[in-house]
Amino acid sequence: MTPETPIRWQRKDLLGIAELSPAEIGLILDTAESFSEIGERAIKKVPTLRGKTVLNLFFEASTRTRSSFEIAEKRLSADNINFSTSGSALEKGETLIDTALNLQAMAPDLVVIRHAHPGVPHMLAKRIKAGVINAGDGAHEHPTQALLDAFTIRRHKGRLAGLKVAILGDIEHSRVVRSNIHLLNKMGAQVTIGGPRTLMPVEMEAMGVGVAYTLEDAIRDADVIMMLRVQLERQGRMAFPSVKEYFQLFGLTTARLAAAKDDVIIMHPGPMNRGTEIASEVADGPYSVILEQVTHGVSVRMAVLYLLSGLYEERS
Ligand code: CP
């Protein structure tokens, strides 16, 4: 445990990184370290959450987050139920609140929710007794992604404080960048964000980061480069003339990596658009830790589920 580790975990919900203290972030990362070894065993299962019920509510597409939560829940022996808009009463006009209250009536212990609208997990958390975990709400926050990113950086660099982290791409539509800025600032890293002006909201400088408008300026002397997906589906109209031009200006290639530190690591939350924000030679190359991020996502989500279950508090 870090020196700042709190003795007790008192939160019912994990809604965003903005509300967490550095000590709470440290506790989640340290707890994830203790769970990560389970994924290396022949029998990847412990009874920690036996008798607990987790609802996974995904109202937006997901590959990594959804399957990672499901695996984390199964590894901890929780009972889990997966729910999506297709085939639910939401299609028949039921409101999200009525759906939530009906689900609450079945007494789940935890609810994991992803929704296209910012604030939906917060609204749910106020209305139900179960702990709520935000698995991504619009362009607002994606706390477990930032936590698994921090876990991956710590594994490679041994620390977060003092590192230069460059985050590049479609800043405007990214919940990942917002959660990462909160986390990295709280933990003492130095963040620079980069991308085209048309995808750079004016309020970003107020978040306490450097802002660069060329890839080279953003990644200069970086210890960590995090590439973000260009979210064409969230753009009303394309914010740049063509994908070809975007790649020429902001696509990460091996040649361009020369501006970063020699031991830089390359990250991406996925899904990746190869040939748009990142070249395959970089995504699959020696500096890439992109698949490690996915592996660590399971340990981090096990830690979050465990801490929110109340069992840590009972045992400490
Ligand atoms: N990183 C991430 O949230 O990926 P998914 O959309 O596949 O869950």
pLDDT of residue 26: 97
Q: Report which protein residue has its CA nearest ligand 1's atom 6.
A: 62
Confidence at residue 191, expressed as pLDDT on a 0 to 100 scale: 98
Strands (E) across the chain are located at 53-58, 79-84, 110-115, 131-137, 164-168, 190-194, 210-212, 224-227, 265-267
Whether residue 174 has its Cβ less than 6 Å from ligand 1:
no
Ligand 1 and 155: CB distance under 6 A: no
User: How far away, in angstroms, is 228 Cα from ligand 1 center?
Assistant: 11
CA 136–ligand 1 middle distance (angstroms): 9
* Ligand 1 pocket residue status of 64, Cβ below 6 Å: yes
Residue 315, pLDDT score: 73
Torsion over CA: 235, 239, 245, 251 (sign): negative
Among 206, 207, 190, which residue's Cα sits nearest to residue 153? 190
Q: What is the pLDDT at residue 239?
A: 74
Kindly state if the Cβ of 63 falls inside 6 Å of ligand 1: yes
Residues of the chain with pLDDT under 50: 1
Interval between CA 8 and ligand 1 midpoint (Å): 30
| 271 CA → ligand 1 middle, Å | 6
Q: Which atom of ligand 1 is the closest one to the Cα of 61?
A: 6
- Look at residue 83 and give its three-state secondary structure: strand
Provide the whole-model pTM. Answer: 0.94
Active site residues: 64-65, 92, 114, 142
Instruction: Please report the pLDDT score of residue 97 as a whole number.
Output: 84
Minimum CA distance residue for ligand 1 atom 5? 62
Other residues' Cβ atoms within 10 Å of the Cβ of residue 193: 25
Write the residue with the smallest CA distance to atom 4 of ligand 1. Answer: 64
Report yes or no: 174 and 233 within 8 Å, Cβ to Cβ. Answer: no
Q: What is the pLDDT of residue 99?
A: 83
What's the CA-to-centroid distance between 4 and ligand 1, angstroms? 30
User: Which atom of ligand 1 approaches the CA of 63 most closely?
Assistant: 7
Does the beta carbon of 179 lie inside 6 Å of ligand 1?
no
pLDDT of residue 185: 98
φ, ψ of residue 41 to 5 degrees: the values are: -80, 160
Q: Is the CB of residue 67 below 6 angstroms from any atom belonging to ligand 1?
A: no
Label residue 79 exposed, middle or buried (CB < 10 Å: 0-12, 13-18, 19+). Answer: middle
Residues 29-87: tens digit of each pLDDT? 999 999 999 999 999 999 999 999 999 999 999 999 999 999 999 999 999 999 876 65
116 lines ligand 1 (CB under 6 A): no
> CB of 269 closer than 6 A to ligand 1?
yes
Atom number in ligand 1 closest to CA 270? 1
At residue 96, the pLDDT reads 81
| Rounded distance from Cα 292 to ligand 1 centre (Å) | 14
**Which amino acid type is present at position 109?**
D
Report the nearest atom of ligand 1 relative to the CA of 66. Answer: 8
